[in-house]
Amino acid sequence: MARRVKAVSHEDRLTLVEHLDELRSRLIVCIIVLGVALALCFWQNHLLLEIAQGPLPDDHDQLITFGVTEPFTTTLTVSAYGAIVLSLPIVLWQLYAYILPAFSETERRVILPILLLFPFLFLAGLAFAYFIVIPAALNFLLDFNDGQFNIQLRAREYYGFFSMTEIALGLIFQLPLAILAVTRLGIVSVEQLSKNRRYAYLVIAIVAAALPGVDPITMLIEMVPLLVLYELSILLARVLGRPEQSGGLAQPSPQE
């Protein structure tokens, strides 16, 4: 097992069976890590539920449930979302280690520093969703025509909205990594990104509309960091330069 979970080198040539065997081993590692994270999150489910209720206004902090099994299933669902967030770095590392042999040594030197930024951007996305997006969305939605409705929050729906918003913003904040990767690998140039900026803005607006939250306030709040991240990514790509400017990807010699 120790040999299977170790990343092979670029020069190694594995058969299809060996590739499948390595994939199985890495999937087993991911399942074990996810299971341990789920057990830990379920053990601390009260803490997770309290954290999730943090953005709620004081007059809506009592959530309701329907049915005998809903408290248990809702708690298990929140624990599962927490386990996904907790185990995501290890799962992504297993994915990187599996596809590592497809890249040369110079390509790995380009990609690895970019991957190291993932946890920081992911945490930034979680914090932005927790402290800005979710409170603004709740204030708008819960105050909308509140005199005409007896507004009560169902636990399952609220925790689902909270968890999906957190995970979605955490992943959306990976936009700089994607742009840096495609520019450093020479797939897309910085000039192309700048020239097609208006199309990128349209895509960002569509993505913001597809994120959790149906009100225009939430959509605008979610659009702002995406636009800023896109522009910062272009600026950072210009500073780092293209692969041939910074010694990134190796060019083949005439003999090759």
| CA 38, 43, 44, 48 torsion-angle sign | positive
pLDDT in the model for residue 247: 45
In tens, the pLDDT along 196-252 reads: 888 888 888 888 877 776 667 777 887 888 888 888 888 877 776 555 444 444 444
Max CA distance (Å), the chain: 78
Give one DSSP letter per residue of 122-141, joined into a string: HHHHHHHIIIIIHHHHHHHH
d(CA 238, CA 249): 16
d(CA 103, CA 97): 11
Percent of the chain with pLDDT over 90: 16
Written as one letter, the residue type at 84 is: I
Percent of the chain with pLDDT over 70: 80
d(CA 251, CA 29): 36
Contact 23, 47 (CB under 8 A): no
- Mean pLDDT is highest, among 3-7, 10-14, 156-160, for 156-160
Contact 122, 177 (CB under 8 A): no
| CA 98, 103, 109, 113 torsion-angle sign | negative
pLDDT in the model for residue 255: 43
Class of residue 96 by CB neighbours under 10 A (exposed 0-12, middle 13-18, buried 19+) = middle
At residue 103 the predicted structure's pLDDT band, cuts being 50, 70 and 90, is low
At residue 2 the predicted structure's pLDDT band, cuts being 50, 70 and 90, is very low
